[in-house]
Amino acid sequence: MSSSTLPNPPSLQPKISTHQSKTLFLLQLCKSTNEATQVHAQLFKSGQILQTFHASKMAEFYAISNPGNIAYAEKIINHIREPNTFILNTVIRGHLERENPEKAMDLYHKMLPYGPKPDNYTFTFLLKACTQLSIAYFGEQLHSNIVKFGLCSDPFIRSKLIHLYANSGRVLDARKVFDGTHHSELDIVSWNSLLEGYAICGEGELAQRLFDEMPNRDVVSWNTMIALHVEKCEFKEALRLFRLMLDDRERPSSITLVSILSAVSHLGAIDQGRWVHAYIEKHGYKLDSSLGSSLINMYSKCGNVDLANAVFEGMTQKGVDTWNSMISGLAMNGHGPKALRLFENLGTSGVKPNAISFACVLNACSHGGLVEEGCKYFAMMSQEYGIEPKRAHYGCMVDLFGRAGMLEKANETIRSMPTEPDAPMLKALIAASRIHGDLVLGENAGLQLIELAPYDSAGYVLLSNIYAMGNNWNRVHWVRKKMRGKGIKKTPGCSSIEIDGVVHEFVVGDTKHLKKREIYKMLDEMSKRLRSEGYKPDTKEVLLDIEEEEAKEASLGHHSEKLAIAFGFISTRPGTTIRIVKNLRVCADCHTALKHLSKLYGRDITVRDLNRFHHFIAGSCSCLDYW
């Protein structure tokens, strides 16, 4: 029998008896393993010898058919004196189709010393098994055997080797195999495998260079690069690539759209988000749990809960991720009671809440000041659903108690945890200490935070603010010196606004925008109108060692969100909603100013900061000054 995955041509097939031919014919008619077993039994009753060809067909039936019986196929192999390569490949393939890569490898190692000589198909299957196991060590052994059997020039094997090494994060080894192959022999899978390997290792420049060199690209190529840019927070570049993908007439997959919606969400670019939603509807994409949840997240993070809810209500099949997205969207937009009601509906919908569901509802309680409800849901997790609280859930409780001024309760929660607190938890405690004036607790938490995360600028800034509130400028300078010694710089405040599909970004005191003259003229007008309303800048928010009150006020007036809003005022028609995304927490002074501005200019102003949304309407904010 030839070493091939296909039977020999009729003229080369071994001679078999008339009875065996009849049996083989009956086997081909079988529709279940029970029927095949009966045929097999008849063969033994007739006293016929199980020949290799007949056995290979029998093994193939049991290994490949659905549902089949892979264990029975292995038994057949054990009863053959000289099993051929075809039988070995067939059973290995059967294990792979049943997602049993370990057993495929075990069979190979068991038969290698005395079994048939492996061929290119054998190694193609085995390399696939190694990739599924994500074990490069086995791949190295196979690579050695491939060289030993003289099969290293086979293009399919080289493709699988590239994929194995790249998937294991060993891009240098993947590149060696890649470069050792003539480009004309490399299929799109090989190019994509190396591209994905670079993406896994975060090698953005190498990935881009390879992407530019690709003779052909498919949807996987584009998805890899778009997802890489989203992961590296290069959201504008991800959107640019998406537009190029469409120009290249490559149809996006649902995976592409999920990545793009994530980029849109981070930018708060609702106009582009609406365009993507229209594209989804126009081209008939199915709103499964993943794509539907991404749309809900996008609208929620762009501050439009009504559109998010419309997507949610329009979905016929809602998985737990869909419910979680909507609960989270309501919570971040200041609709705590609605989020809680939706969580209760989840409990009666037949969909079981998971750990993320409880994190979402606890977050809603925290932002809404719903302490009693938060305690109820925290207890419900383990008592009714058997879900043990994780760090994220304890962090929500610390935030809940801290915002409510229950600092001792927040500290007690941290002490009672089965694990050490993480950075977000300590940041929440410091913020609460600052709001409620417990500088000692804030200092202790701040010192713990910079020890836990020594290269996170936020910890130093929070600790510096605590010292500045107590006018302890020596310690403020100590913190700054410590930052300089580690080469750490404060993350600058940055605000963005989307105008006509283009995202414009501003930093504090920004003078780089093409319309800077008009922007600062509008800032002056805004300042005058604010003062006429009795607004006075809250200079306590400028926690810098600046003695001159006038300099402090100037610093507040040029915060990034105010620049973005000024640009929004001069770039849109009266009455248009202004939507801002900020990378840091909105300060108390800006919060007060924005409430006044929404009333003075008759504009709804929506600001998404690091923690939540603030919807400023007619002089009030959706957070009810509780953030």
Residues 305-340: pLDDT tens digits?
999 999 999 998 899 999 999 999 999 998 999 999
pLDDT for res 539: 62
How buried is 274 (Cβ within 10 angstroms: 0-12 exposed, 13-18 middle, 19+ buried)?
middle
Cα–Cα dist 28/44, whole Å: 18
Other CB atoms within 10 Å distance of the CB of residue 412: 13
Give a yes or no: residue 434 inside a domain. no
DSSP state of 250: P
pLDDT of 215 over the 70 cut: yes
- The number of beta carbons lying within 10 Å of the beta carbon of residue 100 is 17
Helices (H), 354-422: 355-368, 371-385, 391-403, 407-416
* pLDDT, tens only, 402-448: 999 999 999 999 999 998 999 999 999 998 998 898 999 999 999 99
Question: Which residues have C-beta within 8 Å of that of residue 21, sequence separation ≥ 6?
Answer: none
CA-CA-CA-CA dihedral for 254, 258, 261, 266, to nearest 10:
-170
626 token code pair: 């509780």
* Residue 411 pLDDT: 92
pLDDT at 37: 56
In a domain, 243, yes or no: yes
- CA distance linking residue 197 with residue 224, whole number of Å: 10
Give the integer Cα–Cα distance in Å for 460 and 561.
Answer: 23
* Segment among 20-24, 98-102, 306-310, 570-574 with least mean pLDDT: 20-24
> Quick one: CA dihedral 135, 141, 144, 146, positive or negative?
negative
pLDDT digits (tens, 9 = 90+) for 532-584: 988 887 766 555 544 444 444 455 568 899 999 999 999 999 999 999 999 98
pLDDT at residue 553, as a whole number: 45
Last residue of a domain, one of 275, 302, 329: 302
Beta bridge partners of 580: 497, 607
Is the pLDDT higher at 142 or at 73?
Answer: 142
Q: Which residues 6+ apart lie within 8 Å of 552 measured at CB?
A: 537, 539, 542, 544, 546
Mark out the alpha helices in 98-154 (DSSP H runs): 101-111, 120-133, 136-148
pLDDT of residue 614: 92
Query: Can you give the pTM of this predicted structure?
Result: 0.78
Q: Of 248, 276, 302, which one is at a domain's C-terminal end?
A: 302
> Tell me: the pLDDT tens digits for 233-286?
999 999 999 999 999 999 999 999 999 999 999 999 999 999 999 999 999 999
pLDDT band at 142 (very low <50, low <70, confident <90, very high): confident
Asked if 214 and 191 count as a contact pair (C-beta separation under 8 A), the reply is yes
Comparing 147 with 65, the larger pLDDT belongs to 147
Residue 70: band (very low, low, confident or very high) from pLDDT cuts 50, 70, 90: low
Q: How far apart are alpha carbons 578 and 575 in whole angstroms?
A: 9
Among the candidates 271, 302, 333, a domain finishes at 302
* Per-residue tokens: 11: 């003229």
d(CA 37, CA 45): 12
Mean pLDDT score across all residues of the chain: 84
Which residues does 502 contact at the CB level (< 8 Å), separation at least 6? none
Cα–Cα dist 90/56, whole Å: 8
DSSP assignment of 603-616? --EEEE-SS-EEEE
- What's residue 180's pLDDT? 84
Tell me how far apart the alpha carbons of residues 163 and 169 are, in angstroms, rounded to a whole number: 10
Is the residue at 477 inside a domain? no
CA atoms within 13 A on the CB side of 239: 21
Angle between helices 457-469 and 439-452 (to 10 degrees): 160
Residue 77 belongs to a domain: no
Of the listed ranges 41-55, 310-324, 460-474, the one predicted with least confidence: 41-55
User: 535: helix, coil or strand?
Assistant: coil
Residue of 204 and 52 predicted with greater confidence:
204
Within a domain: 287: yes
When pLDDT is cut at 50, 70 and 90, the band that residue 78 belongs to is low
Residue 140's pLDDT is: 75
Q: What is the pLDDT of residue 17?
A: 45
pLDDT at residue number 298: 96
Measured CA to CA in angstroms, residue 493 lies from 449, 561, 564 at distances of 21, 9, 12
Write the single-letter amino acid at 304.
N
What are the residues facing 607 on neighbouring strands? 580, 614
Phi first, then psi: what are they for 582, rounded to 5°? -120, 140
Number of domains making up the chain: 2
Please report, for residues 75, 301, 338, 360, 384, the alpha-carbon distance to residue 343 in angstroms, rounded to integers and kept in the order given: 53, 19, 9, 9, 14
When pLDDT is averaged across residues 586-604 and rounded to a whole number, the result is 92
Whether the predicted pLDDT of 354 surpasses 80: yes
In degrees, rounded to 5, the angle at the alpha carbon of residue 345 between the alpha carbons of residues 340 and 351 is 120
Q: How many residues does the chain have?
A: 627
Peptide linkage before 10 cis (omega within 30 of 0): no
Q: Is residue 42 part of a domain?
A: no
pLDDT at 25: 47
Tokens of 24: 């083989």
- Rounded distance, CA 599 to CA 620, Å? 8
Predicted confidence (pLDDT) per residue in 481-514, tens digit: 999 999 998 888 899 999 988 999 999 888 899 9
pLDDT of residue 622: 87
DSSP line for 24-81? HHHHHH--SHHHHHHHHHHHHHTT----HHHHHHHHHHHHHSSS--HHHHHHHHHT-S
- Flag whether 506 is in a domain: yes
36 contacts: CB under 8 Å, gap ≥ 6:
27, 30, 58, 61, 62, 65
Contact 145, 139 (CB under 8 A): no
Domain assignment of residue 346, yes or no: no
Q: Residue 259: how many CB atoms within 10 A of its CB?
A: 26
Residue 80 pLDDT: 65
Q: How confident is the model at residue 103 (pLDDT cuts 50, 70, 90)?
A: confident
Q: Please work out, in degrees rounded to the nearest 5, the angle formed at the alpha carbon of residue 90 by the alpha carbons of 84 and 92.
A: 105
Place of tokens 């670079």: 198
> Please, are residues 469 and 542 in contact by the beta-carbon 8 Å criterion?
no
Q: What percent of the chain stands above pLDDT 90?
A: 55
The domain containing residue 572 runs over which residues? 494-621
Check residue 57 and give its pLDDT.
64
